[in-house]
Amino acid sequence: MSKWLKSYRENHADFIQPASIEKLPLDPFEAFTLWFDEAVQSMELEANACVLSTYAPQSQQVSSRTLYLKEMLDQQFIFYTNYNSKKAKDLHAHPKASLLFFWPKLMRQIRIEGSVIRVSETISDAYFATRPRESQLGAWASQQSEKIQSRQKLLDQYKLLDARFPDVVPRPAHWGGFSMTANYLEFWQGQTSRLHERRAYYLEKNIWQSKLLQP
Ligand SMILES: Cc1cc2nc3c(=O)[nH]c(=O)nc-3n(C[C@H](O)[C@H](O)[C@H](O)COP(=O)(O)O)c2cc1C
């Protein structure tokens, strides 16, 4: 591994000329949709992958992991996971978290901070029903974040569940969605000049305001 890695921009001639952040819509959710769609169009790998950071009050420790944003619905950011996992335990104990998107081709980052609650069982049921059978059985088979003796144990468990649910796989009660209500969103645009641009959206008396920040 070389000591000083170059950024994507320095290695790729196809780097797209950055847009100015001042042209972003006044509504942060419109701005998010705009950038998200551009990330998909630019063929960013895993454009819907983001980093969720949570806080565990007992250990006073912050932890992060990647997950997929499923959708933005009514200005809520929705993702799915195991309700017994480490992240879910953190969220149940401390329902504030952050989501971070990084799209290197566009040299863009979006930070989102807010409060998290479970989505309704109806919403989780509806999404679970659309998932591939393998993912549905995986949600049953994996006691996410728990210790496992061997990978074979997981495969054996999967086989048993495959036989138990020959037809429709119901949603396990321990699997479902969380939705984040944002109170802060920040957009970062890298510039070739290195004078990068940041724009923060925040709520003031329940109305979204925005300001430019120094990079
Ligand atoms: C690209 C990518 C997407 C992922 N998507 C999800 C997801 O949507 N839900 C999920 O629970 N874990 C997802 N994971 C796995 C998590 O990063 C993590 O390993 C797992 O959820 C356990 O985290 P925890 O022990 O902190 O709860 C994904 C990992 C990667 C690398």
Three-state SS annotation for 129-184: HHCCHHHHHHHHHCCCCCCCCCHHHHHHHHHHHHHHCCCCCCCCCCEEEEEEEEEE
Look at ligand 1, atom 3, and give the residue with the nearest C-alpha: 67
Name the DSSP letter for residue 45.
T
CATH architecture of 24-128+177-213: Roll (2.30)
pLDDT in tens, 162-195: 999 999 999 999 999 999 999 999 999 998 888 8
pLDDT in tens, 17-70: 567 788 899 999 999 999 999 999 999 999 999 999 999 999 999 999 999 999
Q: How far is the CA of 173 from the centre of ligand 1 (A)?
A: 18
Does residue 196 surpass a pLDDT of 80? yes
Q: What gap in Å lies between CA 96 and CA 117, rounded to an integer?
A: 9
Q: If phi over 0 gives left and psi between -120 and 50 gives alpha, with beta otherwise, what is residue 120? A: beta
